[in-house]
Structure 1
Amino acid sequence: MIDQEAVLRRYAQAVEDAHAELTELDQRSGDGDFGDNLRGGLRKAVARFEAGGVSAFEALGEEFLDEVGGTSGPLLGLLFTEIAHALDGRDDDQAAAFGAGAKAGLAAIQRVGEAEVGDRTLVDALAPAVAAIPQGFAAAARAAKVGADHTAELRARMGRASYVGDRVKGEPDPGAVGIALLFWAAATVAEPKAEVDGPLGH
């Protein structure tokens, strides 16, 4: 059974460590608030979880849907909420449940945001992670990292980054990196003996 609290805390720490890099990446392609939004949302989710009454992913879903601004906040909130629903009451195959939640979250994000793989968004990391998670959390984390890294080669077709053209090439999309950090956190908790490199060297 995956320890949701451990994933939340490891994800929060990873984002704390990557905050400056996430901010710099978003300054090149957006309005520069992604690092602050992701870190702030995770801090609030930890506090909400510690207050009691909700699971770790329920806390994440609530805070990102209700409290985190920007384009990414509500989209991540959809993902976290779907994962929370899938994990609720499941103690048998947590990878399958997490994968089912992530798949439902991906569908919700694409329904709302209309992004596809190749548009240089968080979908470029989330879609391959969802495809790989039947092989386990480590496989999903590696796929998410590859997807996030690949966004450095893409021209943005969605959001603010689409207005800056090729200037963002050479650096990964911050939203995709944020997703890769989530799957890295889940893999290092669920499969601690697996060797999984995180994005941005984390």
Structure 2
Amino acid sequence: MAFDQEAVLRRFAQDVEDAHAELTELDQRSGDGDFGDNLRGGLRGAVLRFEKGGTSAFGALGEEFLDEVGGTSGPLLGLLFTEIAHALGSGTDSAAAFGAGAKAGLAAIQRVGEAQLGDRTLVDALAPAVEAAPQGLDAAARAAQEGADRTADLRARRGRASYVGDRAKGEPDPGAVGIALFFRAAAAVAEPDVQNLGR
């Protein structure tokens, strides 16, 4: 199955535009409130970078988030997108390659950030998605959404949210929600007949 990187980038960018207010509100509870702006700005920049040519859609995503997006999440998401771009550029442009790249991205994020499952970070959505990816991107998207939802019951042990104690409990981690949006966009493009993938 061919994997349309550009379509995923544009779908993800639109979904984040639509979810911007929610992401901002979630981050105001657990951080400094800039996650929605950072994610939206990074995606807008990635679309422009891609349109200028010279790189793949996911290559543009990785470059933009590594080079231009601040906060803790920018470089970590940049690692994820870069690993997926590498996997998709290896000659197997498919949903399976996307899953392999996501697995490499998870390893890179955990190597750099040291977050584990249960720490209330984007890893809580990404790790289940990676595990489910061999079953298809629909399964990965559902696993990411379920993982993001579970963070509402967790006390943060990493990142800025770890300083606010239980104040952030009751709502999901914004980084995990961002990962769920990403996998939902990928599934919607690769498996367009799938419905009701989450939020």
TM-score by length of 2: 0.98
Number of the residue aligned with 2:37: 36
Number of the residue aligned with 1:77: 78
Verify the 8 A CA contact 1:95 1:134 in the aligned structure 2: no
2:67 is aligned with what amino acid? D
User: Is structure 2 residue 194 aligned with structure 1 residue 190?
Assistant: no
Count of matched residue positions in the alignment of Structure 1 and Structure 2: 198
Verify the 8 A CA contact 2:125 2:145 in the aligned structure 1: yes
User: Is structure 2 residue 17 aligned with structure 1 residue 2?
Assistant: no
Verify the 8 A CA contact 1:41 1:64 in the aligned structure 2: yes
Shift of 1:89: 4.1
CA–CA separation in structure 1 for the residues paired with 2:196 and 2:21? 22
Number of the residue aligned with 1:180: 180
Verify the 8 A CA contact 1:188 1:196 in the aligned structure 2: no
**Secondary structure of residue in 2 paired with 1:75:** helix
Number of the residue aligned with 2:101: 101
Verify the 8 A CA contact 1:129 1:144 in the aligned structure 2: yes
1:38 is aligned with what amino acid? L
Number of the residue aligned with 2:124: 124
Verify the 8 A CA contact 2:10 2:47 in the aligned structure 1: yes
1:13 is aligned with what amino acid? Q
Report the identity percentage: 82
CA–CA separation in structure 1 for the residues paired with 2:197 and 2:129? 14
**Secondary structure of residue in 2 paired with 1:187:** helix
CA–CA separation in structure 2 for the residues paired with 1:161 and 1:155? 8
CA–CA separation in structure 2 for the residues paired with 1:71 and 1:30? 11
Verify the 8 A CA contact 1:141 1:196 in the aligned structure 2: no
Cα-to-partner distance string for 1:74-95 (whole Å, 9 max, x where unaligned): 0000000000000004346x12
**Unaligned runs of at least 5 residues, structure 2:** none
**Unaligned runs of at least 5 residues, structure 1:** none
TM-score by length of 1: 0.96
